[in-house]
């Protein structure tokens, strides 16, 4: 996946993690967070009219399993989840007044068979811990209408996702929060 705005700022958010990375060069440590069922990570950057969102989640949270989809039922479940992830305006419930349009989106997971970015990482790596990565970029005609990042739709569609650890950079600076279905929004 291309890294656009997200390439730069997130090392600033967690200096302790950054220091740990200096001492541990294992590629596994470079992901957004540890693989923990029920927990996903979301990075969000609002820069001018551009909103960028990057979601990383264990496949278990979204499809209910992590093995390769072999049965027709499993394949149908993966296809349904992929279709949901391909509609980010529904998932992230951006206000219509913001006038946001999707300018790019990329999905990657071993389950989708489109995981070129992680092929190198996957060699010799057990697929029991399949991740799903979704990366979206929006252009918003009226970004001042983006008052909050509301993840209620995401929690409703994927109830096995219990917590989403959010790192957000917006006009008011950087913030981090752990959101849940009962506390699903964060102000920009």
Would you say residue 9 lies in a domain?
no
Instruction: Say which residues have a Cβ less than 8 Å from residue 59's Cβ, sequence separation at least 6.
Output: 65, 66, 109, 111, 130, 131, 132
Query: What span, in angstroms and rounded, lies between the C-alpha atoms of 59 and 37?
Result: 9
Domain extent for 88: 33-187
Would you say residue 131 lies in a domain?
yes
The answer, as to whether pTM is greater than 0.85, is no
What is the number of domains present in the chain? 1
Query: What span, in angstroms and rounded, lies between the C-alpha atoms of 116 and 19?
Result: 28
Would you say residue 23 lies in a domain?
no
Would you say residue 22 lies in a domain?
no
Would you say residue 1 lies in a domain?
no
Per-residue pLDDT of the chain (188 residues; tens, 9 = 90+): 444 555 544 444 443 333 333 333 333 333 444 568 899 999 999 999 999 999 999 999 999 998 989 999 999 999 999 999 999 998 998 999 999 999 999 999 999 984 444 444 443 344 457 999 999 999 999 999 999 999 999 999 999 999 999 999 999 899 999 999 999 999 98
């Amino acid at each position: 996946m291309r890294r656009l705005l997200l390439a730069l700022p997130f090392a600033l958010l967690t200096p302790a993690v950054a220091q740990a990375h200096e001492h541990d060069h294992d590629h596994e440590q470079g992901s957004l967070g540890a693989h923990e069922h029920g927990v996903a990570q979301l990075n969000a950057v609002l820069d001018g009219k551009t909103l960028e969102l990057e979601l990383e989640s264990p496949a278990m949270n979204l499809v209910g399993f992590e093995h390769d989809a072999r049965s027709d039922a499993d394949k149908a479940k993966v296809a349904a989840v992929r279709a949901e992830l391909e509609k980010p305006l529904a998932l992230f419930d951006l206000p219509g007044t913001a006038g946001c349009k999707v300018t790019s989106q990329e999905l990657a997971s071993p389950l989708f068979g489109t995981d070129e970015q992680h092929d190198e990482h996957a060699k010799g790596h057990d697929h029991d811990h399949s991740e799903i990565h979704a990366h979206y970029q929006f252009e918003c005609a009226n970004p001042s209408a983006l008052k909050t990042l509301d993840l209620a739709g995401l929690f409703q569609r994927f109830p096995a996702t219990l917590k989403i650890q959010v790192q957000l950079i917006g006009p008011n600076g950087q913030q981090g929060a752990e959101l849940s279905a009962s506390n699903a929004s964060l102000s920009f």
